[in-house]
Structure 1
Amino acid sequence: MVKKLVIPMVLTVSLFTGAALPATTSAIQPDEQITSLQNSSPKHQSGQNIFKKHVGNINASNADAITFIEQNKDKLNLENPGNNLKVNKKEKDQFGMTHTRLQQTKNGVPVEGSHLIVHYNEKGEVKTINGQYYNEIEESNLDTTPTIQADEALKKAKAAIDAPKVLDYPPTHELVVYPFEDQNHLAYKVNLNFLGTEPGNWFVFINAKTGEVIDQYNGLMHANEYKPIKGKGTGVLGASRDLHLSHKNEPGSGEGTQFFLYDISHDGLEGMSTYDFKNQWQASTISLPGVLFAKKNNTWNEDYDRAAVDAHYNSEKVYHYYKNQHDRNSLDNKGMEIISTVHYGENYNNAFWNGRQMTYGDGDGKFMHTLSAGLDVAAHEMTHGVTNFTSGLKYRNQSGALNEAFSDIFGALVDEDDWEVGEDIMAVEAVAGGRDALRSLSNPSKYPVNAQYTPYGNGSGKYPKHMNEFYHLPLNLDNGGVHINSSIINHAAYLAGIQIGKEKLGKIYYRALTHYLTPDSNFSDARKALLSSATDIYGENSPESQATEDGLNRVGITQ
């Protein structure tokens, strides 16, 4: 069994799941040992959740993060960390704090989900350490030499999920130590990404000794240069949009000047591009992302253009939000190209981030409009990308619910009009039936969940807004409740936001997502991350910190 301890501690994800749309106590002291909130079944082995504040004042110039942890291993109750940690990333933020992310390994093989983060203040003093660590793995005699080859593991992974013969992206694999259901396995982590009526971004863990499937889950979270030019277009709901385009004239093509939904006007950004998938389900004649939208003039007013106009326009709005509010340059903070694809499938009532780009269905015209019409939908999917490149929250159970919640929250922050998600994509029949948004941060329980989820909650059949309404869903239903239990965190954000405003709320939640959370973080870890972030920015016992804590307390996340 894993020894419990405490420190604060991808991928395509879809906007929602299911046939029917889903549907105060005092805080603990910083150094107090706590028990994590119960996770949804099936049981997934968690490491020791660590959150220690003010662990020392050693200067960063005299000892790196790994050395510091090794020197303080007894205080942290960690076994042999100096030999098993490696630096993944080191970054400095606008407050002068430095955050070093460390990966636990066993004989050089990474331990899946086991990360520690060491936070230094501007003076180089260690102020906080958070994350997960598995003492049991260090103490074990686990053999990390695989018996089967990677190509055999790939075949078994494809068979396990009945993957199509032709994948849209090359499969990837990595040898990892995978803690699962109180056992530690040497495994190949295989990623299979494909399109179709049921697109997938599957992660399959194959035992590297026996070839058996240990675990699997779908992470579908749903000389002639281009020259910049401005243009106009009409969106799905009739709004006029100012667009940044590009154009070029290819000599000898006979096409003359062509205009493209390809924005190259932003310094340091590789571009923003919008593609047409021509209502395919998979890459039969063209591969994802599709065909770049092009025409002979810079006005995009045809009905078929409208989905692309909104996707292009909304992508830029979300890009500017992250750049202006959080100084983040694109999803990876390195200026990666922002890619959107529209006209995916037929009557597809969903949108998704597949680890590389955003993809939008056209909706069925009855329950939903074209999904690219929603600014908050675009922000939701692009935030999955931010999560992908920062905390890497696993898309299952509580970590997956956090992944979804942060996407919903930033959807509501970028779309400043309200605290709903998806209100602009609901069609006539949905609105007539009382469904005027996908989810509500202000009043989650106004909407029902899918009927098959009801037995796993408190019987109300509504989205939860408190931990006493938590849905204990198995992994085969909504990946353990990622789109359902997320509404608890959503509501905590709303309760804080109405006290301090959306701008301050965004700064707190962004810092927690990018600097404190790790792949296996749960709701309890999120509380610590959010309170630490509020303190970093606004100070301990500040109104902003108190509002953040109040929101979490009122939804039952009290430790």
Structure 2
Amino acid sequence: MNKKFVIPMLLSATLIGGSFTAGSAYAIQADDSGNQIVKQLGVQKSLKYDKNHSVFAKKLGVNKKKDTNAINYVEQNKQKLNMKDPGKNLKIKRIEIDKFGMTHVRLQQSKNGLPVEGVEVIVHYDKDGTVQTVNGQYNNDIADASIDTNATISVDKALEQAKKAVSAPEVLDYDPTHDLVVYPFNGKNYFTYKVNLNFLGEQPGNWDVFIDAKTGEVVDMYNELMHANDYQPMKGMGTGVLGQKRELHISKKNDPKSGNGTMFYLKDINHEHLGGITTYDFKNEFDSRTNPLPGVLFTKKNNSWNDDYDRAAVDAHYNSEKVYHYYLDQHGRNSLDGNGMEIKSTVHYGSNYNNAFWDGRQMTYGDGDGQFMISLSAGLDVAAHEMTHGVTTHTAGLKYRNQSGALNEAFSDIFGALVNEDSWEIGEDIMAQESKESGRTALRSMSNPSKFPVNASYKPYGNGSGVYPKHMDEYYNLPLNLDNGGVHVNSSIINHAAYLTGEQIGKYKLGQIYYRALTVYLTPDSNFRDARQALIQSAIDIYGENSDEYKATKDGLDKVGITE
């Protein structure tokens, strides 16, 4: 095995190991070279536990008047919920009604009218208007504290500091965004600008940077790289990376001004109430200044998508539609945001790039180096993994670090295995021949996590086995500069719990339970115990108390050590 092959092999052992660096989080594969940035900023490598406390209570009392004012209900039950002054500190974030007729009111904690980052409580009503469950997190320390929320530094200064902190390029692919938030971090409460910076390059980023609005210092940062009407719909045929023949929904257009006649595009406008499924070409570049994201719409002069260069695009386009239909047909979800947003994919990203990622807006796929990986768009489970990050972005919003980040990764893996029903392996279709011959037949295994090693630098933080964990006894207490605190490593514990449940009740029912937990009960700071409560409650909602599905869900979590 040559040196060039060994390096990505180690990286893959993190199972998409995101890092505290300008690497790609929400990726299928990434590095852990974050030490330089951590040292430069003086950011601690590990976190003190913040003072958010988990809230979970069932049937606190029947609301005789069926008062659907969720804030009033929480205020009336604040002592039972151990919440200080929720009536004046909570704001409605959104209200959703599900297919069972239940109403879910998601409440955002605030301070002086500003959101407290990541701290949410959800009140769940049955179809008769009676509260059944309250769950989420709340920060009593902030509720009691006196926090000055008058900014001293300007927005421009905050943006300048954020760009400098992550070494952002001068030209960004999207305009930066910023919000004033109260940020509980590392045992303290900060008043900050939350700045989001999104850019490409050899180390693409979707960074959230928290700048102290009083001093201008960097408090924290982490990488979440978690229609024209004249197009005519039609069908086409193409060949995928592994040689499969694919039927594609595409479009054509005749633009007399161009002189090119009729052109054909990987642009699916066949689905009602969907903004389209589109696939773009990044032409093996890293620099978006010459080829702005998402790239150039994949275009041909004929409706034959069988050239070698077409194959990555054919699979990305085909797999995107498969994942779209999974969420629509099995969960009634119209695209990643639930409201028909356009599904964009970009292929041929960079050179020898062993990675795929969701940047908060779209999916992007590298071609692999041919030794460790082939084109990553070949994997249906890879597409489902990345697109599920999009679903998570628009629902639970799980923070991409420590246990909430591990949940984020786990749900992407789980739905990757549910969409690609063939196995409980992730990434088996994107491994190069040389990699398979060495024994690396997939990126990770949900049925047998210990089948594959973790990155060698992670080994001292686990139980010494050096393999992916399948039980809490094997948990890796990684610092933040390694895999964002273990998001790609410790996710395998949840993965294995899902596998154990799925083997008892089947993949369809497993998907129903895990989808409900993700979209209805989880909040940005949810940890593994919160996930246990969310999953068990979801099984009860759908299949009933003491049902076989409830027992199987509980059994899977018990067997991996995620207990009460």
Please classify the TM superposition score into its range, dividing by the shorter chain length: over 0.9
Return the offset for 1:42: 2.5
1:70 match: secondary structure? helix
Within a 5 Å distance, the mapping from 1:334-345 to structure 2 comes to 334-345=339-350
Residues 237 and 415 of structure 1: CA distance in aligned 2, closer, same or farther (over 3 Å):
same
Within a 5 Å distance, the mapping from 1:53-64 to structure 2 comes to 53-58=58-63, 61-64=66-69
Aligned to 1:84: 89
Return the offset for 1:173: 0.8
1:17 to 13, 21, 30: 30
Distance in 2 between the 1:140 and 1:336 partners?
A: 40
Q: Which amino acid aligns with 2:539?
A: A
Distance in 2 between the 1:60 and 1:387 partners?
A: 34
Within a 5 Å distance, the mapping from 1:394-409 to structure 2 comes to 394-409=399-414
1:484 match: secondary structure? coil
Q: Could you tell me the TM-score, scaled by structure 1's length? A: 0.93
1:376 to 373, 381, 388: 381
Distance in 2 between the 1:429 and 1:19 partners?
A: 24
1:313 to 308, 312, 318: 318
Q: Could you tell me the TM-score, scaled by structure 2's length? A: 0.92
Within a 5 Å distance, the mapping from 1:176-187 to structure 2 comes to 176-187=181-192
Return the offset for 1:61: 5.0
Within a 5 Å distance, the mapping from 1:30-429 to structure 2 comes to 41-58=46-63, 61-221=66-226, 225-429=230-434
Return the offset for 1:19: 7.2
1:168 match: secondary structure? coil
Return the offset for 1:163: 1.4
What is the count of residue pairs matched by the alignment? 529
Distance in 1 between the 2:96 and 2:203 partners?
A: 38
Question: Contact 1:16 / 1:483 at 8 angstroms: preserved in 2?
Answer: no
2:115 match: secondary structure? strand
Q: Which amino acid aligns with 1:140?
A: A
Return the offset for 1:282: 1.9
Q: Which amino acid aligns with 1:312?
A: H
RMSD: 1.4
Distance in 1 between the 2:397 and 2:29 partners?
A: 19
- Which digits, 9 at most, give the CA deviation of each residue in 1:407-436, with x for residues without a partner? 000000000000000000000111011000
Structure 2, unaligned runs of 5 or more: 1-23, 34-44
Question: Contact 1:224 / 1:249 at 8 angstroms: preserved in 2?
Answer: no
- The more displaced of 376-385 and 294-303 is 294-303
Return the offset for 1:44: 4.6
- Which digits, 9 at most, give the CA deviation of each residue in 1:364-396, with x for residues without a partner? 011101000000000000000000000000000
Tell me which stretches of 4 or more aligned residues in structure 1 moved more than 4 Å.
none
Return the offset for 1:149: 1.1
The answer to whether residue 521 in structure 2 is matched with residue 508 in structure 1 is no
2:174 match: secondary structure? coil
Return the offset for 1:43: 2.4
Return the offset for 1:48: 1.3
Return the offset for 1:161: 1.6
Residues 55 and 426 of structure 1: CA distance in aligned 2, closer, same or farther (over 3 Å):
same
2:498 to 493, 501, 510: 493
Residues 47 and 402 of structure 1: CA distance in aligned 2, closer, same or farther (over 3 Å):
same
1:177 match: secondary structure? strand
- Which digits, 9 at most, give the CA deviation of each residue in 1:479-510, with x for residues without a partner? 00000000000000000000000000000000
Distance in 2 between the 1:290 and 1:55 partners?
A: 53
Question: Contact 1:104 / 1:115 at 8 angstroms: preserved in 2?
Answer: yes
- Which digits, 9 at most, give the CA deviation of each residue in 1:195-236, with x for residues without a partner? 111111111111111111111111112x96111000000000
Return the offset for 1:285: 1.6
The answer to whether residue 455 in structure 2 is matched with residue 442 in structure 1 is no
